[in-house]
Amino acid sequence: MKTSKIIMIVAALLPTALFFLPMWTIQLSAPQYPEPLGMEIFITKIAGEKDGDLQNINLMNHYVGMKEIPEHIPEFEFFPWIVGGMIVLGVVFGLIGNRLLFLLWFWIASILGCLGMYDFYQWEYDYGTSLDPKAAIKFMDEAGQLITYQPPLIGTQTILNFEATSLPAIGAYILFLGMALSIVAYWVGRYEAGHKFPPL
Amino acid sequence: MKKTVFSITAFAISAAMLVGCGGAKKEGGKKGALSGSNAEKVYVAPGEHDEFYAFISGGFSGQLAVYGLPSGRLFKVIPIFSQDAEKAYGYNEETKPMLETSYGFVPWDDAHHPDLSQTKGEIDGRWCFINGNNTPRIARVDLKTFETAEILEIPNSAGNHSSSFVTENTEYVVAGTRFSVPVPQRDMPISEYKGNFKGALSFISVGNEGEMDLSFQILMPGFDYDLAHPGRGASHGWFFFTTYNSEEANSLLEVNASQNDKDFIAAINWKKAEEYIAAGKFTTVPAEYAHNVYSDRTHSATSTMKKEVRVLNPADCPGLVYFLPTPKSPHGCDVDPSGEYIVGNGKLSANLTVHSFTKMLDAIKNEKFDGEAYGIPILKFEDVLAGTVVQPGLGPLHTEFDDKGNAYTTFFISSEVVKWKLGTWEVLDRKPTYYSVGHLMIPGGNSQKPWGKYLVAMNKITKDRYLPTGPELCQSAQLYDISGDKMELLSDFPTIGEPHYAAACPADLIAPNQTKIYKLEDNQHPYVAKSEKETKVVREGNVVHVYMTMIRSHFAPDNIEGIKVGDKVYFHVTNLEQDYDVPHGFAMIGANNSELLIMPGQTETLFWEPKQVGVWPMYCTDFCSALHQEMQGYVRVSPAGSSTALSWSLDGE
């Protein structure tokens, strides 16, 4: 089998990791939490980094009227199918061996990734801004507006006494590696087809 | 770099103290202040941890205090033998059985000698044992939770003083009686003490999970058995007890028990005892003693009464016990890390006597006996003597050892610690203590591997060492640096009760194993409510069980109606938290016992008898959260016979 096909099949199989490993992590540290609280987002669930972390995040958040972290969201129904579909599609493209299909797979994965990030942002926005009007603690900003608690999409942000850090987790990095490999497969395919030097 | 900054800070602080104090009055104080490095040695920077855990007996408080060394900071007072209203120990329904004895509920004792469990002669950081002196008991503290896990009463014993010391693989924790008594107890004239009273030495086996079982007792002559230590290394399998009152006096002991030129160290061959037990040479005698066990699963203790004990009589068991003559009324009985030297601290003697284990075995082999007492061979003094430390001080009480072949002995009367060399018996150094030191402790002191860095002297008299607090003063400990040739006094720190012995070990043997929370899913308390949905109030006649939960920042339920005057109400309160260091408290107005202080995942029960009609509040006592002050509720109490229906709610639901 051609090297490019093998690389493409490997690239397509790497996202399998998302079924076992978290794709995103949000960590919360505070003076009272020298050991940060953390939540890990999988394609099928949201879990605490340690036992009790989700309960403790919910306990902190309920004072300002934030909703509990959902045990189930509709995305958990179809995310596994999308990821599974991409794996199958990638393997099929790999077997066909057309390097343009490799590029196509990369672009589909990128678009789906962006959609996923947009979905994540939507959830974060709702999570941080839909507050219970009966909340015990209501903080106003300088303009007299109610402070909201949306965690950062990526990076670190201070929210009251907490420092929230939102970053891709190991599953996402493996997905990125798979996507990068699909580009490599494309280049290698070009090379195998007689193009001397992969163009930039 | 970090260390350097801390060092500079510490130096600056000590320098500032020197200027601020304008020169300390006392010798010890002056030296400490002049030498900046001493302040640095005990300074543990904010947020940093101490190098050693020290478990210092709470003496007549009945408890055990946990300190850090070198800082001398107090971390916890673990309730052992005395009720503690702060932690509801002995007040809540779960821990009341811990203080049951054959005499009924005994809510106090006199705690003396803590000792840490060992494996292969080295401290392993699993458990700390400590004895109750007055109503003879041995307790085991679990060092994962720093809670009392087990208490075993010792029958046929009175003044459980030569206790609790562990053998080098924690095969046994050993307990000896100070008072000899009639065994079994009976009505007889006190004047017939001599020859009739007996002293029981108890060997308590320790299982893999720490569980204690009174394996056998050796019924000794009617002396006072003062202190003990195990053999180790070559002498593993032996146990050594000091005795006084070999005169067998029963009155004015301060004179009548001080007549004999020499008393004894009793050497017990407990491996031999095991052989005799296996061969059936024991008699089983009736006894009554409580065995109390606390479970981290049910968060409750049980108390069972045991009914008999196996007894060995030394006269019937040749080779079991030998007496080593030791001048005069020896107090501490200390064995060096190699197991070769047995130090008898003759408290009324001018010299310190050291016996040799090798010589002892030789004397036994060659039957170099000097008579016998009640069938127990007395070895010839000269044939077992390893050496004498000549005139080291006045009133020797206790000896500990470092890892460089040195011994350190406390002298009560001359109020000092004296360092001397094992083998050459020469005195190397002496330092005053403030004042009248009793026990001393070197981390790992009762093991093959002492950490010869610090020495803690536990003093009996405090006088002017601290700001005065009326007639009753704190007790005082002193920390010495013993890493150099000369001892250096580093600091004073106050201690609770009257600390007798102490035990210490490096923090890394204990700190990494700590339980942080109890898992709610593992909670097997019979009255647990694992979620707010499971809360309820159940009436059985005039007994009412409230299944209650607590979480930041409310109780569920927090409104209860239908309770009547004359009811017996049990609040079974479960802390639903699963977060480190988030306990909640529970207090009920007019409760005739204490608060509850409930750790995450734990259930505790407060008993309450409402006596007056009205609406009575309850609240959380531990400042748990920003809305702690809102964590409160009400119980409506109606007249006896009222028809108010039983109801409970949280936020109207």
Provide the pairing of β-strand A155-159 with B406-411. Answer: unpaired
Backbone angles phi, psi at B2, to 5 degrees: -60, -45
Report the relative pairing of strands B543-551 and B536-540 from DSSP bridges: antiparallel
User: Is the pLDDT at B66 greater than 50, yes or no?
Assistant: yes
Distance CA A157, CA A27 (A): 11
Instruction: Say yes or no for a CB contact (<8 Å) between A52 and B579.
Output: yes
Q: CA–CA distance from B318 to each of B198, B312, B357, B377, B392 (Å)? A: 18, 11, 19, 9, 37
Residue B202, H or E segment = strand B197-206
Residues B564-618: pLDDT tens digits?
999 999 999 999 999 999 999 999 999 999 999 999 999 999 999 999 999 999 9
Q: What chain A residue is nearest to B600 in terms of C-alpha separation? A: A52
CATH number for position B237: 2.130.10.10
User: Would you call B130 exposed, middle or buried from its count of C-beta atoms within 10 A (0-12, 13-18, 19+)?
Assistant: buried
B205 in the same domain as B164: yes
Asked whether the predicted pLDDT for residue B162 surpasses 90, the reply is yes
Dist. CA B375–CA B202, nearest whole Å:
20
Q: Which pLDDT belongs to residue A197?
A: 63
Q: Which tokens in the block code for residue B16? A: 């500032």
Residue B10: band (very low, low, confident or very high) from pLDDT cuts 50, 70, 90: very low
Q: For B407, list phi and psi in degrees, rounded to 5.
A: -120, 155
Dihedral of CA atoms A54, A59, A63, A65 in degrees, nearest 10, equals 40
**Given an 8 Å threshold on Cβ–Cβ distance, is B517 in contact with A52?**
yes
Considering the domain boundaries, does residue B113 fall inside one? yes
Number of domains in chain B: 3
Q: Mean of the pLDDT values across residues B309-317?
A: 97
Per-residue pLDDT tens listing for chain A (200 residues): 789 999 999 999 999 999 999 999 999 999 999 999 999 999 999 999 998 999 999 999 999 999 999 888 899 999 999 999 999 999 999 999 999 999 999 999 999 999 999 999 999 999 999 999 999 988 888 888 888 899 999 999 998 889 999 999 999 999 999 999 999 999 999 988 888 765 55
Residue that finishes a domain, picked among B488, B513, B538: B513
| pLDDT, averaged across chain B | 94
Residue B15 has pLDDT above 50, yes or no: no
Residue B486 in this model has a pLDDT that exceeds 60: yes
Amino acid at site B513: N
Size of interface A-B (CB pairs under 8 A): 21
In a shared domain, residues B491 and B409: yes
pLDDT in tens, B247-270: 999 999 989 888 888 999 999 999
How many other CB atoms are there within 10 angstroms of residue A104's CB atom?
Answer: 15
DSSP annotation of B98 reads G
DSSP E strand stretches across B336-391: 341-346, 352-356, 369-373, 376-379, 385-389
Residue with tokens 């203080």: B99
Partners of B608 in the β-ladder: B569
Residue of B551, B579, B626 with shortest CB distance to A63 = B626
pLDDT value of residue A195: 82
Could you tell me if B467 and B572 lie in one domain?
no
**Which residue of A35, A51, A63 is in closest CB contact with B578?**
A51
What is the amino acid identity at position B542?
N
In a domain, B22, yes or no: yes
Percent of chain B with pLDDT over 90: 91
Whether residue B530 sits in one domain with residue B492 = no
Rounded distance, CA B437 to CA B465, Å?
A: 14
Residue B341 has what pLDDT?
98
* Residues B277 and B236 placed together within one structural domain of the fold: yes
Please check whether residue B320 is in contact with residue B218, taking contact to mean a CB–CB distance below 8 angstroms. Answer: yes
Rg (CA), chain A: 21
Contact A57, A69 (CB under 8 A): yes
Euclidean distance between CA atoms A8 and A93, whole angstroms? 8
How far apart are the CA of A195 and the nearest CA of chain B, in angstroms?
57
CATH number assigned to the domain comprising residue B607: 2.60.40.420
Backbone angles phi, psi at B473, to 5 degrees: -110, 160
Query: Are A48 and A39 spatial neighbours (Cβ–Cβ below 8 Å)?
Result: yes
Regarding whether B454 and B388 lie in a shared domain, the answer is yes
Answer yes or no: is pLDDT of B457 > 70. yes
- The answer as to whether B76 is a domain residue is yes
Do residue B528 and residue B509 come from a single domain? no
Residues of A in Cβ contact (< 8 Å) with B552: 59
* Residue B416 within a domain: yes
pLDDT, position B652: 87
pLDDT of residue B25: 42
The total number of residues shown for chain B amounts to: 653
Using an 8 Å CB-CB cutoff, list chain B residues near A35: 580
Measure B588 CA to nearest chain A CA, in Å.
25
What's the pLDDT at A71?
86
Residue B578: closest C-alpha in chain A: A52
Residue B15 lies in a domain: yes
pLDDT, residue B37, reads 86
- CB atoms < 10 A from the CB of B297, how many? 11
| Residue from A33, A49, A54, A55 whose CB has the most chain B CBs within 10 Å, to mutate | A55
The whole-number average pLDDT for the span B84-103 is 98
The answer to whether the CB of B166 falls within 8 A of the CB of B117 is yes
Strand-pairing partners, residue B544, are B539, B569
Asked whether the CA dihedral B272, B274, B280, B285 is positive or negative, the reply is positive
Please tell me whether residues B383 and B424 are part of one structural domain: yes
Q: Where are the alpha helices (DSSP H) in B308-429?
A: 357-365, 381-384
Q: B349 and B455, same structural domain?
A: yes
Between B10-19, B277-286, B331-340, the lowest mean confidence (pLDDT) is in B10-19
DSSP class of residue B84 equals B
Nearest CA to CA, how far is B579 from chain A (Å)?
6
Q: DSSP letters along A11-46, please?
A: HHHGGGGGGTS-SEEEEEEETTEEEEEEEEE-SS-E
Residue B47 domain-assigned (yes or no): no
Shared domain check, B335 and B482: yes
**B222 and B366 inside one domain:** yes
Q: What would the pLDDT profile of B16-57 be if each residue is shown by its tens digit?
A: 444 334 333 444 444 444 456 899 999 999 999 999 999 999
Percentage helix, strand, coil, to 5, in chain B?
Answer: 15, 45, 45
**Gap between the Cα atoms of B308 and B41, Å rounded:** 52
Are the beta carbons of B366 and B416 closer than 8 angstroms? no
Residue B524 lies in a domain: yes
Taking CA–CA distances from A53, the nearest residue in chain B reads: B579
Q: Which residues pair with B479 in a beta bridge?
A: B456, B491
pLDDT tier at B562, thresholds 50, 70, 90: very high
The arithmetic mean of pLDDT across residues B181-197, rounded, is: 96
Q: Which domain holds residue B29?
A: 2-42
Peptide bond into B184 cis (omega under 30): yes
Last residue within a domain, chosen from B513, B542, B570 = B513
Is the model's pLDDT at B198 over the cut of 90?
yes
Query: Which residues make Cβ contacts (< 8 Å) with residue B188, sequence separation at least 6?
Result: B182, B196
The DSSP 8-state label assigned to residue B260 in this structure reads S
B578/A52 Cβ within 8 A = yes
Burial label, B45 (beta-carbon count in 10 A; 0-12, 13-18, 19+):
middle
CB contact under 8 A, A136 and B551: no
Indicate if B349 and B442 belong to the same structural domain: yes
Q: In what order do the strands lie in the sheet with B406-411?
A: B396-401, B406-411, B416-421, B427-432
Q: Do B193 and B250 meet the contact criterion of CB atoms below 8 Å apart?
A: yes
Distance, in Å, from the CA atom of B475 to the CA atom of B478, rounded to the nearest integer, reads: 10
A137: nearest CB among B551, B578, B626:
B626
In the block, tokens 């930041």 appear at B552
CA dist., res. B239 & res. B163, Å (int): 12
In angstroms, the separation between the Cα of residue B517 and the nearest Cα of chain A is 10
Supply the pLDDT for residue B36: 63
What is the rounded CA–CA span in Å between residue B380 and residue B378?
Answer: 7
Contacts of A96 (CB under 8 A, 6+ apart): none
Q: What was the pLDDT predicted at B166?
A: 98
pLDDT, residue B1, reads 41
B interface test, pick of A37, A51, A53, A134 with most B CB neighbours within 10 Å: A51
Among B467, B488, B513, identify where a domain stops. B513
Burial class (CB in 10 A: 0-12, 13-18, 19+), B59: buried
B320 inside domain: yes
CA A57/CA A60 separation, integer angstroms:
5
